[in-house]
Amino acid sequence: MKVKAILLTMVMLTALFAGCKKSTTQPQQQPQQQTTQQSQNTTTKEAQQTNPSKQTTDTSTSASIVDNGDAFVQAISRGGTWIIAIKNDLTINKDLLVDGEFKNTKNPPVSQRKLALYAQDANRKVTARYTLTAPKMTITSPDCGLWYGTFVGDIYVSATNFQLIGATVQGNIYFTTDQAKATFKPDADSKVTGVQELRKP
């Protein structure tokens, strides 16, 4: 009888210890699951925080191809792009302002603002030249150039290193500073039908 009592006691104790072991291990698993979930959430948040920065367009190295006046005005603004190319003749019945400092896509990038009044093929051969018409265009972006095509109206230059590359200006070019006039760079294929003179404000 004593042996049976001892065996019964041992069985009960074994079952009791097994139950205690289960109750102590389950709480330990839950924090691990919570920690893993928190880690996944943190990783997701970090990805969400980093991805937008990778997708953000750097306006200093992007381009705008426009076919209407509103888009052109936005593209030449301080919040626009370094190169603006038109796809057709444009007539804009208000004064234009080419503003802001931009860099091109060279390696390393250098200061440049390009108004492209032309189309080209895969070999960069000019295939069409367009005409941009406005009462007045003011240039305050440094290293700005008018490439091919024709601008009809007067241009006021307040920035340095304004260029004409194979372009025609049917109007006058007025420089608002001595430095702007001294650094003006028209190439041999460009033409200005009006005067080129200093006109300080």
Total number of domains constituting the chain: 2
The answer on 82 and 4 residing in a single domain is no
Q: Please tell me the pTM assigned to this model.
A: 0.70
Mean pLDDT lowest among 53-57, 60-64, 94-98, 169-173: 53-57
> What are the tens digits of pLDDT across the range 26-54?
444 444 444 333 333 333 333 333 333 33
> What are the tens digits of pLDDT across the range 2-20?
444 544 555 454 544 444 4
The answer on 75 and 105 residing in a single domain is yes
Helix (H, G, I), strand (E, B) or coil at 50: helix
The answer on 188 and 94 residing in a single domain is yes
The answer on 51 and 95 residing in a single domain is no
Domain that holds residue 34: 1-56
Distance CA 193, CA 155 (A): 12
Written as one string, the DSSP assignment of 126-192 is EEEE-EEEEEEEEE-STTEEEESSEEEEEEEE-SSS-EEES-EEES-EEESSHHHHHT-EE-TT-EE
Distance CA 12, CA 41 (A): 45
Over the chain, what is the mean pLDDT? 80
Other beta carbons less than 10 A from residue 48's beta carbon: 9
The answer on 117 and 88 residing in a single domain is yes
